[in-house]
Amino acid sequence: METQEQVLSMPRIGDKAPSFTAVTTQGDINFPQDYTGKWIIFFSHPADFTPVCTSEFMTFASMQDEFEALNTQLVGLSVDGLYSHIAWLRTIKEKIEYKGMKNVEVTFPLIEDITMNVSKQYGMIQPGESSTKAVRAVFFIDPKGVVRTIIYYPLSLGRNFDELKRVIIGLQTADAYEVALPADWRPGDDVIVPTAGSCGVAKERMESTDEDQTCYDWFFCTKKLAKEKVDSLRVK
């Protein structure tokens, strides 16, 4: 008799982040309720005591203050047990020096997910890549508990941390100033204004002499947004 594998629908952009309770290296958490009012980077890694994951955790921990300045909390997960997590993080702090990082202490929570319940709930188990390890998933969740961006990496490729930080800054900027952001946007670059919703607005934009606005065509206009305004969104 064939057994039917349970198929779970992973959250999509715009969905509420699925709730769960979990044991972590920083105690029990209720997710995402414990982080209401903050942005969250919720990420998975394949396994403790592995080189790519070690390089990533050292980088996450070294950048933790930068993320906290952006009102962003880090929450990690793998299918390893709590004691494996604790031993691995202790090894990182006491023994590993990498790219100038040493004595790195990981103080953000790392979830124990031996049952894979949370991993499956968030689509972190990708059977084509591995049925026993989580891939490198990253969920960006806003202060209202809504999934805003999802990025997946395979087991063999470490994450781009400049991009993770850029995504958080970009989402906060787009929300605060009601704009969109072009390819490769960085704070201080021009931003995209909402597409004209009428012929009249389109005509006004194309004929505008506003030096802070550039229109390439009626549907594609940008305006200046000073880096200082973007930086002002950081937690003081």
User: Hey, which residues are catalytic here?
Assistant: 53
Query: At CB < 8 A and 24+ separation, what contacts does 125-131 make?
Result: 126/152, 129/154, 129/155, 130/46, 130/155
- The SS3 of residue 192 is strand
For residues 77 and 23, what is the distance between their CA atoms, to the nearest angstrom?
Answer: 10
What is the secondary structure of 115-148 as a DSSP string?
Answer: T-HHHHHTT---TTT-SSS--EEEEEE-TTSBEE
* CA neighbor of 65 nearest in space, from 31, 108, 29, 98: 108
Buried b / exposed e across 6-17, counting CB within 10 Å, b at 16+? Answer: eeeebbeeeeeb
- Give yes or no for a contact between 56 and 151, defined as CB atoms under 8 angstroms apart: no
Residue 181: partners with Cβ closer than 8 Å, 6 or more residues away:
170, 173, 174, 189, 191, 192
Integer Cα distance of 236 and 214 in angstroms: 32
Beta bridge partners of 146: 16
